[in-house]
Amino acid sequence: MITRFAPSPTGPLHLGHAYSAMLAYDMAMAENGMFLLRIEDIDQTRARSKWEAQIYDDLHWLGLRWPTPIMRQSDRLDSYRSAIDRLWHDGQLYACHCTRADIAAATAAPQEGGPTLGPDGVIYPGTCRPADINRNHSQHSAPTDAALRLDISMVARNFDDTSALSFTETGARQNRSTAVIDFTLADLARTTGDIVLARRDVGTSYHLSVVVDDAAQGVTHVVRGEDLYDATKIHVLLQHLLGLSSPTYHHHRLIRDDNGKRLAKRDDARALSAYRAEGATPADIRRLVGL
C-alpha cells in the first residue's frame, strides 16, 4: 500500500491536516507499505517556503517519516504539459478567455435562483465552447495564452463505454467498509460543467496535477478529506482519459471546530504550531482528532 499526504504550503497545518496525514501514515504502516509526502505548490502566488518548512517540521514532530526527495508540483510542469497536450490533441479541451466577471454576468439569472455550483464553484455556462464537435487539434499544440477547459458534455457523448465509470471507496461514508461508487458521465456533465484543467497563468490545475502525480508516484490509496469526495469523479474521468489506473479512495471525516465549522488554514488558533507552543504532545494531537 502506498499512501500520501499532499498539502499546499499556503498556511499553517491545522488539526484537520494532522488527522489526514496521520491516518494516511497509519494505514500505510499497518500494511508494511509506504507513506509519501507531496508538496502541492502550483499556485506560486500563494505558496511560501516558510509554510513548506513548517509542514516538514510539524509532520516530523508528529512522528511521521517519508522518503526523500519529496515530489514538489512546481518541479513537474513538464509532466502536466504532456498530459494537457494529450487531451488537447484528442480534442477534449477548448480555450477559454472568459474572466470571472464574464462568467458571473453570464450566470446571473435571478429568476432561476442564481448560478449552479459544482466542485470548482460556479458551473461554467459554456460561453467559449466551440460549436464544432468534430474539432481536430492534432496539428497544433495546446495554447498557453488561455485557460483550457474540459469539454465534458462532448466527452460524455463520445464515451465509448455505456457502462458508468466507478471507483472504490473505503472511507467515512462507507463506515470503512469497501464500496464501488458508480457514476455516469451525463451526471458529471450536469454537476461539474466544463472545468478548467490548465489555468492560463500556471498551465495546470489542481485536478490535473493530482491525477498525474498520484499515478507517477504509484499511490494505491488516496487518503483525504470528505470535502474532495465529489472531485474524485473528475479525477477518475481524467485517469480514464489519460490511460491511468485509478487508486482506491478513502475520504475521511472532517475535523470541525466547536461550532461544527470545518477548519480552514486561516483558523490560526487551531494551527498545530499553536498546540505545540502550548506544550501538547503528539499523543495529545492523536487524542484530539480521535485516532
For 286, the grid coordinates are 492523536
Tell me if 224 contacts ligand GLU by CB under 6 A. Answer: yes
8: contact with ligand GLU by CB under 6 A = yes
Residue 40 or 194: the one with the smaller Cβ distance to ligand GLU is: 40
Side-chain-facing half-sphere of 265: CA atoms under 13 Å:
11
| Subset of residues 37 to 56 that bind ligand GLU, contact rule: CB under 6 A | 40
Q: Does residue 228 interact with ligand GLU by CB under 6 A?
A: yes
> Least CB distance from residue 155 to ligand GLU, whole Å?
21
Cell numbers for 243, please give them.
490511460
Distances from the Cα of 148 to the Cαs of 45, 132, 168, 255, 276, in angstroms? Answer: 20, 16, 29, 34, 43
Please pick, from the candidates 147, 185, 210, 215, the single residue that binds ligand GLU as defined by CB under 6 A: 210
- 233 binding ligand GLU? (CB under 6 A): no
β-partners of residue 221 are 3, 248
Binding residues among 68-107 for ligand GLU as defined by CB under 6 A: none
The least distance separating ligand GLU from the CB of residue 227, rounded to whole angstroms, comes to: 8
Interface with ligand GLU, residue 204, by CB under 6 A: no
Buried b (16+ CB within 10 A) or exposed e, 52-81: bebbeebbeebebebeeeebbbeebeebbb
The dihedral over CA atoms of 208, 97, 44, 41, expressed in degrees to the nearest 10, equals -10
Q: Does 6 bind ligand GLU (CB under 6 A)?
A: yes
**265 belongs to the binding site for ligand GLU (CB under 6 A):** no
- Verify binding: residue 13, ligand GLU, rule CB under 6 A: no
Please list the residues that pair with 208 across neighbouring strands: none
- Residues forming contacts to ligand GLU in the complex (CB under 6 A) are 6-8, 40, 210, 224, 228
